[in-house]
Chain A
Amino acid sequence: MPNGNGKIINMQNVHKVYDTGKVKVEALKGVNLKIQHGTFAAIIGPSGSGKSTLMNILGCLDVSTDGVYEFEGERVDGLHHNRLAEIRNEKVGFVFQNFNLLPYASALENVEMPLIFKGVHTKKRRERAAELLERVGLGHRLTHQAIELSGGEMQRVSIARALANNPSLILADEPTGNLDSKSGGEIIELFEELWQAGHTILIITHDVNIPKRTERVIRIKDGLLTEEANGNGNGNGGH
């Protein structure tokens, strides 16, 4: 098990200031957040609350301007961009609202992408991608191009892609935002299954259905977090 005393995420007093030269915008004003392994949490908040900024920093796509951020015990702020890329590759699995698949690549090739960046050999890569697509229920669509798939199917492909390197954290940004309610429901069910299988999942969302299902609900407003314990959860972090 990695370091961090069971904590994947440990944020202390994290600030993020966007300096456009003329004005300074403080998107995060001292965020404290701890996420244990095996957590299923929703981060909710209105637009402009700092949600996306938080997600970018959590996923090591962006770095904070102040404070301490440890990912599995490793201090992330101030790391070289190559190491950040490695963390994103091996420890974080992203699921985007717009899926962000390569449109003309097959489902299989899309899922292989993180494995390529890790340097996994072709044959192993193929096998692993096929296995993951099977797991998200797309075993019959391996060679279809992404543009030939429905929205729900595309999101399944991107979930399979997020799982490719067996990451410590799955970070989903509005995963149901571009889906009809039926497909959206199926995706939430898939997340639940993954959580039950032991994955740590963090979903940033507007979707009112999601917070009902997660064990933790973290609210963000004006760059600060508040948290309420959920019915089915045992939340222990935040404030």
Chain B
Amino acid sequence: MLPERLVTFRNDSAFVELLNELSEPAETLITTGLSDGLNVEIASGLIESTQVVQRPPKEIE
């Protein structure tokens, strides 16, 4: 289970951001299962307990 706010849905696919070898956020394709709108089941693409990147809210400048 993962908070749905960390998942990006685009063109019928789902992505999360993980840190790559250079410690930069990079998108990874995942497949999702059931969701209650707040939390979503991860069917594949993500191992349990992997740290998913959580970006701070954008600042208006």
Do A and B touch (CB < 8 Å)? Answer: no
Interface residues of A (CB under 8 A from B): none
Interface residues of B (CB under 8 A from A): none
